[in-house]
Amino acid sequence: MTNEVWFDETDASLDDAAARYLRERYRFEVRYKLPAAERRFSRTVWNDVAEMGWLAVTTPEEDEGLGVRMTSVCLLGKAAGRGLLNEPLTSGLVAAWAIASSANVDQRETLLPRLHAGHLRVACVFAEGDEVRVEGGALHGRKTVVIDADIADHLLVLVQAAGQAPTLHLVEAGAPGVRREVYPLLDGRGAATVTFDGCRATLLGEGNAVSASAVRRAMLLGALATAADSYGAMSATFDLTLEYLKTRRQFGKPIGTHQVLQHRAVDMHIRVGESKAVLDKAAVSLQAGTDSAARDVHAAKAFVCDEARKLAHDAVQMHGGIGITDEYAVSHYLRRIRVNEQLYGSTEQHFQWFAAASAASDTHATNP
C-alpha cells in the first residue's frame, strides 16, 4: 500500500501541485455557486491543467511529452476524482497516447504540442462493432454517450469493424457531416450522441491501420485513469464521512460513538485500502508492460468501481439528510462514481475480462 516504490521526482511534484491546485483553486463550495456552463468547463482551469503538465504524461519524451507515465496517470486520476474535476483530463490523456502511438511524424508534431498546451480539446469516440464505419474514405455511423463530446473541439474516432484492422481518425467537432446531440451526465460532466454522416476525417498514421495492441493499451489507459478517478472520489467520500462521524452530535454524543457506525466506517476504510492496493498494482503493471498488465487493469476497474459504489451508498446513509442534497459533496461523489462505472468498459465487462484472463493462465504462479 505504499506508493514510494514507484514515485519519482516528477510524480511527487505532479501530485503535490495537483493536490494544492484542487484544494485551493477548485473548491467544491466555491464551484457549487458557479453557473452550470462554467462548472462544466472552465477555460481558465483547463489552461492551468495544461500548464501544470498534466496533459503530457502519456506522450513520450521524443514527442515533447513527459514520457509515458502510468503512475502519473494514476495519481492525476485520483486527484481528479477527489477534486470532482469536470475538465476532460482522461479524454486528453487517452487521446495524447493514441496520437503519440499511432500518428505519423508530421501529425505528431502538429497535434501533440497543441494538445499538451490545452489548445486541442479532444473527445474519444471509441466505436465498437460496426457502430462507426469507413465507406469511401468517409465516416458513417453513430455513437451514444461519448463523454466530453459536448465540449470537445476535436473528435478522435476509433473504427474497429469486425474482421478488419482498427483505424484512428481525427475530425473537427464542427466539421460538415458531424452532428452532436449534447446532454449533461449524472455527475455534472457532459456527453453527446455523435452521428457521422459521410464526414471526411484525417486518418492517423501512414494510411495504415493502427496496431491492435495500441488500441488495447489506449482502452486500458482510460480504464486505469477512470478507476483512479473513482478511487479518488471514494477516498474523499470516506474522509468526509469519518469527519462527520466525529463531529455530528445526536443524543448528546458524536454519532461515531455508536458501534454500528464504527463497524461500517471500518468496512469503508478496508474498501479504500484494498482499492488503493489493487489500483497501484495495475499502474505499476501497465507501466512495466508485464504479461499481467491487462488482467491487473481489469481487476482495478472492476474492483474499485464496485467498492466505490458500496462505499458511496453507505456514505450517503451515514450522513442522513445532508447526504442526499445537491449542495453537499457526498452526493456528487456518488454520482461521479456511478458515471465512472460505465466509462472505458463497464464494471461487468472488466470483471468478465478479468475472469477470462485469469482462466487463461495460472497467473498466481507467475504474478505474485
Partner 1 sequence: MLHATLDVEREPLSNTLDAEDGFRQQVRDYCTHELPTHVRDKVRANLFMTKQDHVDFLRSLARRGWVAGHWPKAYGGAQWTPLQRFIFEEESTLGGAPWLIPFGVNYVGPVIYTYGNDAQKKRFLPPILASQVWWAQGYSEPGAGSDLAGIKTRAIRNGEHYVVNGQKIWTSYVQWADWIFCLVRTSEESRPQQGISFLLIDMRTPGVTVRPIKTMDGCHHVNEVFFDDVKVPLENLVGEEGRGWSYAKFLLSNERILAAETGHSMRALEHLKSLVRSVPSDSGLDRGVFERRIGRIELKLHALRAFCLAYGRSMDPSQPPGVEASIMKIRGSELQQDISEATFDWLGRSSIVYDATLVNAPHASSHVGPADTSGAVREYLHVRAATIYGGSNEIQRNIIAKAELGL
Closer CB to partner 1, 260 or 365, in the complex: 260
**359 forms part of the interface with partner 1 (CB under 8 A):** no
Least distance CB 244 / partner 1 (angstroms): 12
Least distance CB 183 / partner 1 (angstroms): 4
User: What Rg do the C-alpha atoms of the chain give, in angstroms?
Assistant: 21
Helix axis angle for 43-51 and 9-25, nearest 10°, is 160
Residue type, 314: D
Residue type, 161: A
Distance of alpha carbon 244 from alpha carbon 256, whole angstroms: 8
The CA-atom distances, in angstroms, between 46 and each of 19, 116, 183, 186, 262 are: 16, 11, 20, 21, 40
Q: Which residue has the cell 499481467?
A: 292
Residue from the set 3, 42, 349, 363 that interacts with partner 1 by CB under 8 A: 349
Query: What residues contact residue 145 under an 8 Å CB cut-off, 6+ apart?
Result: 191, 193, 342
Distance of alpha carbon 195 from alpha carbon 174, whole angstroms: 12
The CA-atom distances, in angstroms, between 98 and each of 36, 58, 82, 133, 291 are: 31, 9, 26, 19, 21
C-alpha grid cell for residue 106? 508530421
Query: Pattern 233-272, binding to partner 1, x per CB under 8 A?
Result: ----------------xxx---x--x-xx-----------
Among the listed ranges 41-49, 186-194, 239-247, 290-298, the one in contact with partner 1 (CB under 8 A) is 186-194
Least distance CB 173 / partner 1 (angstroms): 18
Contact of 342 with 301, CB cutoff 8 Å? no
Least distance CB 10 / partner 1 (angstroms): 33
Least distance CB 363 / partner 1 (angstroms): 21
**129 forms part of the interface with partner 1 (CB under 8 A):** no
Residue from the set 311, 338, 344, 357 that interacts with partner 1 by CB under 8 A: 338
End-to-end CA distance of the chain: 15
Question: Binders of partner 1: how many residues, by CB under 8 A?
Answer: 40
Residue from the set 144, 164, 262, 366 that interacts with partner 1 by CB under 8 A: 144
**289 forms part of the interface with partner 1 (CB under 8 A):** no
Distance of alpha carbon 74 from alpha carbon 64, whole angstroms: 20
Closer CB to partner 1, 326 or 362, in the complex: 326
Distance of alpha carbon 10 from alpha carbon 76, whole angstroms: 12
Among the listed ranges 8-16, 52-60, 62-70, 334-342, the one in contact with partner 1 (CB under 8 A) is 334-342
Least distance CB 317 / partner 1 (angstroms): 6
**83 forms part of the interface with partner 1 (CB under 8 A):** no
Q: Which residue has the cell 474535476?
A: 85
**321 forms part of the interface with partner 1 (CB under 8 A):** yes
Which pairing describes strands 122-126 and 154-159: parallel, antiparallel, or unpaired? parallel
Residue from the set 12, 43, 320, 366 that interacts with partner 1 by CB under 8 A: 320
Closer CB to partner 1, 260 or 359, in the complex: 260
Closer CB to partner 1, 217 or 309, in the complex: 309
Residues that bind partner 1 (CB under 8 A): 144-145, 181, 183-187, 191, 193, 249-251, 255, 258, 260-261, 313, 316-317, 320-321, 323-327, 331-332, 334-335, 338-339, 341-342, 346-349, 352
